[in-house]
Structure 1
């Protein structure tokens, strides 16, 4: 058998894809699930609903694509699930990475002087984005959870851990290094859960999963017939980094899904950012981590969803670029999509969205253009901060994710960056990365060098905007950001 099943458990949907022996998608199935917003700034998912989407999409893809040799999993990172070790039932909804409910807790920890210690150990900042404070909230705010946790009756994990627990019928409580690195609880230099941070957040260590390499034996499942090994796991942005074959220091990828996440490979050097970027693990094989600088934008593709579902000015995401192209060139609108706060390099969880430059002539086309342009502006914020932290020649920006299908959006990205942007033939590289990790371990796919050689370019976008216009537009964006930030941002 020379095929691999990749499970891509994302923020708004779950996909399953069967990849053939040449790492080409052969069959796929996708299912959206419900987004729950119980309070302002809160975002939750029902883990049982997500589990149902995993079963449905896997069976759908396998029915079309045929038998596979192994499974690879990639998942939305930082999203927190706590479940009962006996029944596998969650004690509460999954608290999603976008959730802001622990903003005050993070601010209090920061005010008490803990951020430098946390950053030195984890590469992360004290922000509600990460898993640790969400887990602390569950322990302290859901009846009976702390008592059951301290008695060893509960398990914590990011979505990969929860799925593997269910798939292996409770036999394996594991995660991989890339997901562990996003919890705020894991020392990425020492490769272990950190006792000092666990004590700070009052989290029992018995909740935590075992941490493995990205390519490892995560257990096997019989849910789809004959026993299948789970041989690869990586958080979605790290899986995209692998899928883009960014194996050399200085290589940079930027993924445009619900949010936008740029990762810059820094090799075996863990860079301590001076510009509020994150240090993280890009991937880990044979017990050796490869590090990265990461910049996280919370709202990218989600701003197009808002145009569709909130403003209802488009019926389908694909219409946004055509609408933007029709916008009045004499109007300059800036949209700061801080719907759930601002991520890197600002890290202001209390900021909220704003639009600047409105006139009575502003309409749907101008809103669409400002929404798409906001993604380019935010990406430039990230890349400028990364360049300050990691000087030197970086390669062309490799992009992926659903938004990159839009030539208009990618051309603006190249224009505002003043740099070439490379779009691969396969846009959904997250699933490719998960499949390659599992398939390489199963002996089906080539090693890193062979995989990198097979990476295929679809199109390179080169800057067409003059430098003066680029700088003027970006200065306007920075002014809009300054007006959006809260006093303590």
Structure 2
């Protein structure tokens, strides 16, 4: 029987589970979908019990009698929050997703001093994407007396309700955790009106998070060894451990991250906490894979794969530009009032040109973030959309830098598994042995024009452009 870590990667639209041995080999895998609902414009919710059921289904489909599970690792979507009843352990209200912007107006009403405090303590900014505004809404609107992020909910369920814990990297995304002092900040808790009593205890990423109890299909007593946020797990799995190595995860949204030597107060986050904190500069894109899925639906195509195939039938978008600001724009623009726009069409525009514009939009948004980084040698890419050679070549062309695509598209689960094996005392070095497909940039001809065209399209949907058109100051 082979010793294995069970790595559970709970994402925005699905849950994956993989059994990974000490060499990094995947022995078995499974997945299950998770639904999203949008009960009102800008609201994004999930059902907490359905989310847990997806974890059980994914785990059940990858279990094998030939493997002994010696530990569990978690990789989870960030910023989404859940509230539950301390006595019963049952969820109270929906999961409020990271894409949800119901609190955007409330965030805008906060004084500048709060944003300054948030930046100094967390490296982030006040925005509806992060957890604290959602937590404030949840506590106002429900009877929840215990709250947490997705990792907290899964640890709670995996341990039979015994543990109320959160991993430090996930905590850093709440706007409530001081990433220098490595503790909940009472100044931030006061600013958002969050009582510390409802929050989980913060633990380092590899500190252990209890043991399984009463989980269908799993024996009791299996240790939950390591927990990472999904974007952070992907960076860990990519082996991006020094400045100049940048990873981009292409999921529902996108995360672009690069490690830094010390904390900075602008766009910095805590990637993980082991024997010391590891910080990273990060930019978050709200809609990347979601933009491809939306365009596929708009064009009546079966899925994103069909969209990419259609896009590949034309050499360019012929001036058509899609700015997928369906829930506003994330980094580096941070304009939650921006709205999506499809522009530049003519009588000769075809469905293929629109499809190509959607592919280009994903790559342009990555470029918007990487251009804010002082140093970038190359980009390491992971996530489901990296199976598209068209997207990856477009990315390399627009960046003017090589793009290295990992040999496995979903690295978050493997990154969490690698940290777990390290915590269990097994040397890994998986990233050094990983192979990549490299996409070299083509000719520079037209790159500047394409980036200028994109920048103009983005500017046309921002608050500044709307103010100018309406005369509002």
Q: TM-score range by the shorter chain?
A: over 0.9
Provide the alpha-carbon RMSD of the alignment: 1.6
Q: Specify every segment of 5 or more residues in structure 2 that has no aligned partner in the other structure, as ranges.
A: 468-473
Describe the SS at the equivalent of 2:353. helix
- Give 1:313 shift: 3.0
- Give 1:197 shift: 1.1
Which of 345, 348, 365 is residue 361 of structure 1 equivalent to?
Answer: 348
Aligned to 1:237: 231
Structure 1 residue 428 corresponds to structure 2 residue 419: no
Aligned to 2:9: 8
Structure 1 segment 181-330 matched on structure 2, within 5 A: 181-222=172-213, 223=215, 224-267=218-261, 269-273=262-266, 278-286=267-275, 288-308=276-296, 310-327=297-314, 329=316
Structure 1 segment 81-480 matched on structure 2, within 5 A: 81-109=82-110, 111-142=111-142, 144-145=143-144, 154-222=145-213, 223=215, 224-267=218-261, 269-273=262-266, 278-286=267-275, 288-308=276-296, 310-327=297-314, 329=316, 331-387=318-374, 392=375, 394-446=376-428, 450-454=429-433, 456-466=434-444, 468-480=445-457
Q: Distance in 2 between matches of 1:412 and 1:401?
A: 16
- Give 1:249 shift: 3.0
- Give 1:360 shift: 2.3
- Give 1:63 shift: 3.7
Asked if structure 2 preserves the Cα contact closer than 8 Å seen for 1:2 and 1:444, the reply is: no
- Give 1:59 shift: 1.6
Q: Distance in 2 between matches of 1:160 and 1:248?
A: 27
Q: Distance in 2 between matches of 1:408 and 1:306?
A: 18
With the length of structure 2 as denominator, give the TM-score of the two structures. Answer: 0.94
Asked if structure 2 preserves the Cα contact closer than 8 Å seen for 1:120 and 1:272, the reply is: yes
- Give 1:85 shift: 1.3
Q: Distance in 2 between matches of 1:255 and 1:23?
A: 20
Asked if structure 2 preserves the Cα contact closer than 8 Å seen for 1:26 and 1:65, the reply is: no
Q: Distance in 1 between matches of 2:406 and 2:315?
A: 31
Structure 1 segment 51-66 matched on structure 2, within 5 A: 51-63=52-64, 66=67
Q: Distance in 2 between matches of 1:81 and 1:361?
A: 48
Q: 1:52 to 1:249 in 2, by over 3 A?
A: same
Describe the SS at the equivalent of 1:133. helix
Asked if structure 2 preserves the Cα contact closer than 8 Å seen for 1:377 and 1:474, the reply is: yes
* C-alpha distance after superposition, 1:94-137 (max 9, x if no partner): 1000000000111011x453211111111111100000000001
* C-alpha distance after superposition, 1:208-259 (max 9, x if no partner): 1111111121011042124211001000000000010112233211100111
Q: 1:368 to 1:227 in 2, by over 3 A?
A: same
Describe the SS at the equivalent of 2:298. coil
- Give 1:327 shift: 2.6
Q: 1:439 to 1:357 in 2, by over 3 A?
A: same
- Give 1:440 shift: 1.4
Q: Distance in 1 between matches of 2:200 and 2:430?
A: 30
Q: Distance in 2 between matches of 1:329 and 1:383?
A: 23
Asked if structure 1 preserves the Cα contact closer than 8 Å seen for 2:4 and 2:20, the reply is: yes
Q: Distance in 2 between matches of 1:416 and 1:102?
A: 34
Which piece of structure 1 moves more, 17-26 or 296-305?
17-26
Describe the SS at the equivalent of 1:241. helix
Asked if structure 2 preserves the Cα contact closer than 8 Å seen for 1:7 and 1:14, the reply is: yes
Aligned residues: 462
Q: Specify every segment of 5 or more residues in structure 1 that has no aligned partner in the other structure, as ranges.
A: 146-153
- Give 1:445 shift: 4.2
Describe the SS at the equivalent of 1:306. helix
* C-alpha distance after superposition, 1:59-117 (max 9, x if no partner): 211147632111000100000101111211111101000000000111011x4532111
Q: Distance in 2 between matches of 1:116 and 1:226?
A: 46
- Give 1:330 shift: 7.3
Describe the SS at the equivalent of 1:183. coil
Which piece of structure 1 moves more, 98-107 or 224-233?
224-233
Describe the SS at the equivalent of 1:304. helix
